[in-house]
Amino acid sequence: MWRTFSLRTRLNLLLALVLVLGLAINIGRLLLEAGPRVQAEDQSVVRLAREFVQTLVADLSESAEPDARLDQIVTRLGELRHVSITRIHGGAGRAPPLAPHQDTTADAPTVPGWFVTLIHPEQTTVDLPVLVNGRSLGTLAITSHPTDEIAEIWDGIVTQLEVGTAIAIILLVITITVMNRALAPIQALVAAMKGIAAGNYDTRVTPGGPPEFAAIGTQLNDLVATLGQSLLDKQQLAEKIVSLQDAERKDVARELHDEFGPHLFALRAHASALAQAAGAAAPDIPSLRKHGDSILAQVNTLQHVNRRVLDRLRPVGLSELGLADALGALMRLWREANPGVTIETSISPQFGRPGDTAELTLYRIVQEALTNVFRHSGATHVDIAIEPAAPPKGLPAAGAATLLRVRDNGAGLPADHRSGFGLMGMRERVLALGGTLTVASSEQGVLVEALVPNGSPR
């Protein structure tokens, strides 16, 4: 049940409980101190009354009628407030004590009987024998009546209860008011979170309330801004992917048109001429051989073009031979095309098979980096290093990753350099796998560094 209460309700109940316990403890303390307090008052009053009566009785020896004088003294002592004095004659039984003087003013508190019984269940009575000139005049019974003291204690308890209750109510009201104002920002935070959950990333809250809630509001605004920027980046990424796909399709279509079209046209022409020459009454063997050789040359050229196009779409031998052999074949092609550039490749012995997707990503990064080196940098030396690494932050520690570095000694990137489709494609490909890619340029050249999480092993 306690878990179903709101924070505001829990705090209010706890405060009310503390106040009630404090008031109960204080009232209990007064009740515990009441008995000893009344007892001490009884003893003091009885002692004083006894001394006073003894002083009066001592003067009876000089009275002509001591018995009548004693009755007058007892009657006058009946006006005392805290004690009652009764006279017991000879062997007569104890007479009921005189009723104590009661405060009958309008402000006098009415003390419940249970309270009197609780703190003062028995009255204190002292018998004082009266002897005058060797003759006994009876006994004076002095009985305590601490009515005023009990009434004072009861009045203190009632006052404590009333004042304590009033103070507790006031404190509770003040605390509830302060708490409601302090917890008001939570409602704004909840409303903002609902808006964010609905996809409204323009939602902002005004930091207010206690410093803790203000800090939460500030952090929530930062989080929403980051989420909004992430959504915008995601949209831009989707647009870039579509653009890259369109650009790649255009490149493939242009290459098919520019490379396959002329060769197919030549094949058709030679095939038509070959058919005509073969249909003649006297076939021209040299002409047939010529057209056949031309057809064979065109087919060989088409095979090379087809291999180059397929290599762009999917590197030949990557799945069968692995990344190391595929990169070795790629390096041989670049070395043959650029004999003046030294390309050194270093692959760690601990490097295994990171998975098809990771291997293809690493291959494409090397391919694009080398393309940029030979097109723009004017470098004479390129270092390629591949080694195992810890996974990027946020991925499970058990998942390994591969670190790739491609460094050249070229002129570096110009100050107004803008990433082309190739570099953007590399970065988006790596980000899609949860990795990172950085390109650092300096006067000593360009460093392309990629951290690519490994996929499922084969």
Residue tagged 């070959």 (tokens): 274
Token readout for 110 is: 């009415």
Which residue do the tokens 């397929």 mark?
A: 310
* Token pair for 274: 């070959």
- According to DSSP, the residues that pair with 178 across neighbouring strands are none
The residues near 67 (Cβ < 8 Å, ≥ 6 apart) are 137
Residue 445 pairs with which residues in a beta bridge?
A: 442
Question: What is the pLDDT tens value at each position of the chain, 458 positions in all?
Answer: 677 777 778 888 888 888 889 888 988 888 888 888 888 877 888 888 888 887 877 777 777 777 788 788 888 777 676 777 888 876 444 544 444 444 444 454 577 878 877 776 667 788 888 877 777 788 888 887 777 778 888 888 888 888 888 988 898 888 888 888 777 777 788 888 888 888 887 888 888 777 877 888 888 888 888 888 888 877 777 777 677 677 777 877 787 777 777 878 888 887 887 777 777 777 677 777 787 888 888 888 887 777 777 766 667 667 777 888 888 888 888 888 788 888 898 888 887 777 888 888 888 888 888 888 887 777 889 999 999 887 666 555 545 888 999 999 887 776 666 666 667 777 878 888 888 888 888 878 889 999 988 875 44
- Measured CA to CA, the distance from residue 334 to residue 303 in angstroms comes to 20
- Give dist(CA 357, CA 362) in Å, integer: 9
Report the distance separating Cα 28 and Cα 30, nearest Å.
Answer: 5
Asked if CATH classification 3.30.565.10 holds for the domain at 314-453, the reply, yes or no, is yes
CA distances from 121 to 116, 117, 146, 156, 417 (A): 7, 4, 12, 20, 102
Contacting residues for 87 by C-beta, under 8 A, at least 6 apart? 70, 71, 74, 95, 138, 139, 140, 141
Helices (H) and strands (E) in the chain, counts: 11, 8
- Per-domain residue ranges of the chain: 2-175, 314-453
pTM of the model: 0.46
Q: What is the dihedral of CA 257, 259, 264, 267, to 10 degrees?
A: 160
